[in-house]
Amino acid sequence: MALTNSSDRYGGVTKTFHWLTALLIFTVIPLGVIAHNLPYDTAEQLARKAWLFSMHKTVGVTIFFVAIARILWAVSQPKPDPVAAQPAPLEFLASLAHWTLYASLILVPLTGWIHHAATTGFAPIWWPFGQNLPFVPKDNIVAERFATLHMFFERVLVASLLLHIAGALKHHVIDKDATLRRMWFGNTAAAGATGHGNAVLPPLAALIIFAAVGTAAALQPVEDGPAVPSLQAVVSDWQVQDGDITITITQFGAEVGGNFSDWTSAIEFDPDAPGPVKGNVTTTINIASLTLGSVTDQALGPDYFAASEFPTATFTGDLVETDGTYEAQGTLQIRDVTEPLTFPFDLVIEDDTATVDAALSLNRLDFDIGQNMNDESSLAFGVDINITLTATRAD
C-alpha cells in the first residue's frame, strides 16, 4: 500500500490520519459527557471526575495537533476523484461537511484549551509543557467566553460528523460503491468520476456557519453568579485604604490561588502604648466574595465554606509587640468553628501610613472544611493565606 495519495486511491498516511481522528473523536466526546455528569461529593468521586476530565482535555489537545498535521498533509497531496458523480446538492453537502469537520477539529480543542488556560485548578492536561497559553490571562470572563465557544463549536463538530457518517453509509449501503472501502487499509482503488460542484461555495458556507455560531456564542450573557452583598464599612483609628487577602490551596498536587474581594478591618493601634499589647483588630471576610479558579463554586458549597449558611469569617485579636516584632494573637471563626490563631506580621509605619504583610497556614480540617476529602490525594490539608494592606491614621 502506497503511503501517498493518487488520483484513484488514498495513501496509507491519509488513511491513518482519518481513522486515528475518528478514534480520538469517539473517545473525547463520551469522556467529556461522562465527566460532566459525575458527582464530586467525596475524594474518590472528585478524583474520578478529575481523571476523566484530564483524559478529555489531553485527548482534545491531541486532536488539535493531529488535525493540524492532517490538514498540512492533505494540502500536500492530490485528492482522489470521487467514485461516482453525485447530484449537486449532495456534493455540496459532502464538501460542506468536510470543511466544517476540518475547522471543528481545530476550533473545538483550541477553544477548550484556551478555557483551560484562562482558569486555575482541577483536571490538568497530562503533558510536560505546562497548563498556560501565551497571551491568555487568568480571567473568569475569558474562561467563560471560550467555554461557551467550545460548547457551540462542539455542536457543529457533531453535526458535521453525523453528516459525514451518513454520506459514507449512503455510498456503501445504497450506492454500493467503493467510497468507504477505499478509505480502509489495503489497495482498494476506484475509477474516478468528475464532480460538478462549486469549489468556492462550500468553504464560504462553512465560514458563514462558524461566523454565525461564534456570534451566537459571543452574545450569550456571561454568568456573573448571584449578587454578593457588600460588608458594611467600619470606622476605626486606622482606615484600610487597599489590600488583599489571598488564599492558595493544593489540589491534585497543583496550587490553585484565589482571593476574597470583600473584607473589612477595624484596627486600633498605638506603637507607643505601654506594655506589649499595642492595639487590637477585628477583620471580617465576606466568604461569598471568594474567587478560586475553576473550583470557586465547590469551595463555596456546603462541604467547604458553606457560604449561604456561614456568610462571614472573623478574626478578632490583639496586636502584640514581642522583641521588636509584631504578631496578632486571637481567634479565627470560620463556619461554626472558632480556633485560637497567632501569626506574625511585618509592619512599616511612615508618617500616618502603615503597611502590613502577613503569611500564615491553616489546616482546613480544623474548621470542618472539606471533611469529605479526608486525605490529601485530592485536596491538601494545608491552606496558605497571605494578607497585605495599607492603612492610614484617622484624623
Distances (CA, A) of 290 to 89, 91, 147, 285, 318: 54, 54, 21, 9, 26
Residues 336 and 334: their CA atoms lie apart, in Å, by 6
In this prediction, residue 29 carries a pLDDT of 96
CB 56 within 8 A of CB 122: no
Reported CATH class of domain 238-393: mainly beta
In this prediction, residue 224 carries a pLDDT of 61
CB 135 within 8 A of CB 154: no
Q: Which residues contact 199 (CB under 8 A, 6 or more apart)?
A: none
Domain residue spans of the chain: 12-218, 238-393
In this prediction, residue 40 carries a pLDDT of 83
Distances (CA, A) of 235 to 238, 260, 261, 340, 395: 8, 20, 19, 25, 11
Q: What is the pLDDT along the chain (395 residues), one digit of tens a residue?
A: 789 998 888 999 999 999 999 999 999 999 999 999 998 878 788 889 999 999 999 999 999 999 999 999 999 999 888 887 788 888 899 999 999 999 999 999 999 999 999 998 879 999 999 999 999 999 889 999 999 999 999 999 999 999 999 999 998 999 888 888 889 988 776 655 555 457 889 999 999 999 999 999 999 987 665 667 889 989 999 999 999 999 999 998 889 999 999 999 999 999 999 999 999 999 999 999 999 988 898 899 999 999 999 999 999 999 999 888 999 999 999 999 999 999 999 999 999 999 999 999 999 999 999 998 888 888 999 999 999 999 999 87
Cell for 381? 490539608
Residues 226 and 300: their CA atoms lie apart, in Å, by 12
CB atoms inside a 10 Å sphere around CB 127 = 11
Q: Is 217 helix (H, G, I), strand (E, B) or coil?
A: helix
Q: Do the strands 277-286 and 325-334 form a parallel or antiparallel pair, or are they unpaired? A: unpaired
With the C-alpha atoms ordered 197, 200, 201, 207, is the resulting torsion angle positive or negative? positive
CB 260 within 8 A of CB 286: yes
In this prediction, residue 254 carries a pLDDT of 86
In this prediction, residue 195 carries a pLDDT of 54
Residues 133 and 199: their CA atoms lie apart, in Å, by 35
- The tally of CA atoms less than 13 A away on the side-chain side of residue 15 is 21
Residues 219 and 153: their CA atoms lie apart, in Å, by 14
Identical fold, 12-218 and 238-393: no
In this prediction, residue 361 carries a pLDDT of 97
Within 170-307, residue ranges assigned H as helices are 201-218, 296-300
In this prediction, residue 197 carries a pLDDT of 59
Distances (CA, A) of 68 to 106, 126, 132, 147, 160: 7, 20, 20, 21, 18
Fold of the domain spanning 12-218: Fumarate Reductase Cytochrome B subunit (1.20.950)
The rounded Cα 51 to chain-centroid distance in angstroms is 14
